[in-house]
Amino acid sequence: MKFFASCGKGLEYLLADELVALGCTRATAAMAGANVEGTLQDAQRAVMWSRLASRVLWPITEFDCPDELALYAGVAAVPWPEHLASGHTLAVDAHVSGTAITHARYAAQRVKDAVVDVMRAQTGARPDVDVETPDLRLNLVVRKGRAILSIDLGGGPLHRRGWRLKQGEAPLKENLAAAVLLRGQWPKRHAEGGALLDPMCGSGTLLIEGALMAADVAPGLLRHEGRSPTRWRGFDNAAWSALVDEARKRETVGRAALKPVFFGSDLDPHAIRAARDNEVMAGLVGVIQWSVVDVSQLPSRVRVTGAATSPADAATHEGTSLPATGLVVCNPPYDARLAADPALYRALGDAMKTAVPGWTASLLCGDAELARATGLRASKTYQLFNGAIECALIVVDPIRSAREMARETALAEGTTEVRPLSEGAQMVANRLRKNLRKLKAWREREQVTCYRAYDADLPEYSAAIDVYTTDEPTPRTFLHVQEYAAPATIPEPVQRRRLNELLAAAREVFGVPREHVALKTRAKGKGGSKYGHFDSRGEFIVVREGDARLRVNLFDYLDTGLFLDHRPMRLRLADEAQDTRFLNLFAYTGAATVHAAVGGARSTTTVDLSGTYLQWCADNLQENGIGGPRHRLIQADAMRWLEEDSGEYDLVFCDPPTFSNSKRADDFDVQAVHVTLLRAAMARLARDGVLYFSNNYRRFRLDEAAVAAFAECVEITPRTIPLDFERDARIHRCWRLRHPGAR
């Protein structure tokens, strides 16, 4: 059986690994959760033991849902007396997307109406609604015309462990705290005899979660106090009782062995009082040492054993001695506007370098700039979300200054000195940071991980910088830098200096190593200026765009395999592809085909002259688990193929090159042949179908009169230019074509 475990964005891979470790047959990371294969008992174990899941959802029905009538009918078809007893209470959580059903509360109301009507008709009694503590909590998801209705096996949010009595102004959810601890490898540090320190502990969430983790206390034990979390009639109560018994036995052993190696401090005495109260509720009295201390005073209060820098320093230090190994966890202050003082982050970093050198740190910072303000060199960086706020979780192992780490790297590379950025490089760095701030809200809202960060914003630093973040458990950031041709009046040494300054600025702002920067430079060659020699690394990375995973090669070709400016067009195709016959002409690496297939296309046909690109498309499809005869890959000249093909297609994407003089096909000039091309493509388009035509020839002029003879044509270019390309709004143009009089 398949079920779904939801979680905060950024925790998906951790959650999938945790669920497999808990005994599930398989778990695959998805957006804000994991798709899981396992038994009902596996799902109930996840309710008891998962530290990362927000909810565990057991599906009971799935159906087409084009409108609210279909929603009501689909829910009413469920035999509700098999799931809910007379007199039990009910609550419905709903999440909807798309244009058919747009209001989640209305959707939840229609589900409730259907359940109530069925129960009244079949039992003579109707269930009441209890949104706080219902006997049965349902979860509805409507997406792309499909509805999934599930039982919430946990009865509510699983991050509520049951011990939180008081909280500060910006409380951290317990499952996000667990992620911070796990990324810092707290279980391993604890097994090695290490301590846990939070120098800005607030109401104590990280420390209490860490102590309960170390004591092997099941997250669901205190939350439910042994009771079943739901009164759903399908719930296996005997299996739950066995889980409770097992959890209590493990808790007894774990608490008895727990050592007081937990230290929390905060400048706010009210926060410390709240932390002490929460400690009592969690059954951890005497385990955690609390103190009211400003972070800048931390080195005078705690010190790693043997870390005193001099006899005099050791003599004056009267604080707590800590083990030689341990983990610092912290969630420094920030808010939705990232209103945080970088000086506070610098003070935190300085204190850690002095008090606990050599330890590991896992710090949930407001953003990458605040993380860099600590002065610590992150060995790993993760993107997490604290509610709606995108955060940078940095893991520092070991705790040393960024400058110290940079000096070691420089020595290893044969450089004897770490130089600060030049004035020009600092100017580029400032512009990059400005651009990142501007794009931040958009990237979070649209979940964009590959984007253009810089496009010759400063004319003397003429290049484009694109950012690619991998879709993997530990995301990696790569930069793709394309140098533009400089005017002939600029001396070559000046060009080289400016390019080096731009690269230095980009590496500092994004914190990437040299091997993660793909550089495409201009070189003088036969026939004039052209891009120089490329690497032959054969290295592909996988990135995510919408619901699709796409393979990208940054080093071996001029283009990467993914035209970032066409992102909105591909996402539009995904939204419109449900149950269509999709045709992709001049397909390149097939990214549009993948989006259509993931979006539910009945079939896809992909046409390109290049065997390399078609293989790339096949690999992209395989990356998304897509294959079979419904997805055709055709190596052919698109113009000739259209003349010979007799198929019919509901959705067509045609994005030809500007020019082509391949030996295997007739010479191609989009300006000269676009009317012939579009006429042939429209001949293959179904009566009510849609054709999207795009090209990036900057001087292109559509022959509107000629096209009007066989198609209704509307330019939609402004809606297809993403925010990161607004500086170059003519990077492509796009039109929507339909048959005259089509619906």
300-357 pLDDT, tens digit per residue, is 777 776 544 433 343 334 567 788 899 999 999 886 554 577 888 989 999 999 889 8
600 lies in the same domain as 719: yes
Structure tokens at 352: 């850690």
Going 282 to 284 to 285 to 287, the CA torsion angle's sign is negative
The set of residues, in sequence order, having a beta carbon less than 8 Å from that of 503 and lying 6+ positions away, is 481, 517, 519
Going 291 to 295 to 300 to 306, the CA torsion angle's sign is positive
495 lies in the same domain as 393: no
- Asked, for residue 676, whether it belongs to a domain, the answer is yes
Give the model's confidence band at 538: pLDDT under 50 very low, under 70 low, under 90 confident, else very high. Answer: confident
Please tell me the distance from the alpha carbon of residue 601 to that of residue 593, in angstroms, as a whole number: 9
* pLDDT tens column, 557-608: 889 999 999 999 999 999 999 999 999 999 999 999 999 999 999 999 999 9
Give SS3 for 660. Answer: strand
Please tell me the distance from the alpha carbon of residue 562 to that of residue 588, in angstroms, as a whole number: 9
Residue 166 has pLDDT above 80, yes or no: no
- Asked, for residue 630, whether it belongs to a domain, the answer is yes
**Residue labelled with tokens 């484009």:** 464
Going 415 to 417 to 423 to 426, the CA torsion angle's sign is positive
- Asked, for residue 665, whether it belongs to a domain, the answer is yes
Cβ distance 10 to 385 under 8 Å? yes
Q: Rounded mean pLDDT of 468-490?
A: 89
Sheet holding 463-469, edge to edge: 450-455, 463-469, 477-483, 517-520
Structure tokens at 183: 């990324």
CATH of residue 660's domain is 3.40.50.150
643 lies in the same domain as 519: no
Tell me the sheet residues that pair with 149. 61, 140
* pLDDT tens column, 24-70: 999 999 888 999 999 999 999 999 999 999 999 999 999 999 999 99
* pLDDT tens column, 184-206: 999 999 999 999 999 999 999 99
Residue 497 has pLDDT above 60, yes or no: yes
Cβ distance 592 to 584 under 8 Å? yes
Provide the pLDDT for residue 342: 82
Mean of pLDDT over the chain? 89
Angle subtended at Cα 46 by Cα 42 and Cα 48, rounded to the nearest 5 degrees: 115
Cβ distance 145 to 101 under 8 Å? no
- Asked, for residue 711, whether it belongs to a domain, the answer is yes
Sheet holding 631-635, edge to edge: 631-635, 603-608, 581-585, 649-654, 685-695, 733-738, 712-715
Structure tokens at 279: 């400690």
CA distances from 80 to 75, 136, 235, 589 (A): 9, 11, 14, 48
Please tell me the distance from the alpha carbon of residue 333 to that of residue 366, in angstroms, as a whole number: 8
Please tell me the distance from the alpha carbon of residue 124 to that of residue 135, in angstroms, as a whole number: 19
- The residue out of 480, 515, 531 marking a domain boundary is 531
- Asked, for residue 554, whether it belongs to a domain, the answer is no
Provide the pLDDT for residue 528: 39
- The residue out of 346, 376, 408 marking a domain boundary is 408
* pLDDT tens column, 627-646: 999 999 999 999 999 999 99
* pLDDT tens column, 98-157: 877 889 999 999 999 999 999 999 998 989 999 888 999 999 999 888 999 999 999 999
CATH of residue 79's domain is 3.30.2130.30
Provide the pLDDT for residue 475: 85
Going 674 to 679 to 680 to 681, the CA torsion angle's sign is positive
433 lies in the same domain as 373: no
- Asked, for residue 646, whether it belongs to a domain, the answer is yes
DSSP letter string over 29-54?
Answer: EETTEEEEE--HHHHHHHHHH-SS-S
The set of residues, in sequence order, having a beta carbon less than 8 Å from that of 243 and lying 6+ positions away, is 44, 45, 48, 218
Please tell me the distance from the alpha carbon of residue 108 to that of residue 130, in angstroms, as a whole number: 13
439 lies in the same domain as 403: no
**Residue labelled with tokens 């993931």:** 598
The one-letter amino acid code at 738 reads: R
541-545 and 528-531 strand pairing: unpaired
* pLDDT tens column, 610-620: 999 999 999 99
731 lies in the same domain as 614: yes
As for how many domains the chain has, the answer is 4
8 lies in the same domain as 39: yes
346 lies in the same domain as 453: no
Structure tokens at 287: 């385990």
* pLDDT tens column, 416-459: 455 678 899 999 999 999 999 999 989 988 999 999 999 999 99
Q: Would you tell me the crossing angle of helices 174-183 and 12-21 to the nearest 10 degrees? A: 80
> Residue 293 class from Cβ within 10 Å (0-12 exposed, 13-18 middle, 19+ buried)?
buried
- The residue out of 515, 531, 547 marking a domain boundary is 531
380-386 and 360-365 strand pairing: unpaired
* Full residue range of the structural domain in which residue 41 is found: 2-152
Cβ distance 210 to 262 under 8 Å? yes
HEC sequence for 102-120:
CCHHHHHHHHHHHHHHHHH
373 lies in the same domain as 477: no
- Asked, for residue 574, whether it belongs to a domain, the answer is yes
Cβ distance 231 to 135 under 8 Å? yes
**Portion of the chain with pLDDT greater than 90, in percent:** 69
**Portion of the chain with pLDDT greater than 70, in percent:** 91
Please tell me the distance from the alpha carbon of residue 481 to that of residue 463, in angstroms, as a whole number: 7
CATH of residue 509's domain is 3.30.750.80
585 lies in the same domain as 685: yes
> Residue 236 class from Cβ within 10 Å (0-12 exposed, 13-18 middle, 19+ buried)?
middle
Provide the pLDDT for residue 387: 83
Nearest CA to 11 out of 469, 384, 396 is that of 384
379 lies in the same domain as 500: no
- Asked, for residue 33, whether it belongs to a domain, the answer is yes
* pLDDT tens column, 634-688: 999 999 999 999 999 999 999 999 988 766 667 789 999 999 999 999 999 999 9
The set of residues, in sequence order, having a beta carbon less than 8 Å from that of 171 and lying 6+ positions away, is 164, 202, 203, 205
Element (H, E) at 405: helix 402-412
Provide the pLDDT for residue 405: 56
Please tell me the distance from the alpha carbon of residue 177 to that of residue 198, in angstroms, as a whole number: 12
374 lies in the same domain as 455: no
Helices (H), 333-401: 342-355, 368-373
Give the model's confidence band at 368: pLDDT under 50 very low, under 70 low, under 90 confident, else very high. Answer: confident
Residue 482 phi, psi dihedral angles, 5° rounding: -115, 120
Q: Rounded mean pLDDT of 521-531?
A: 47
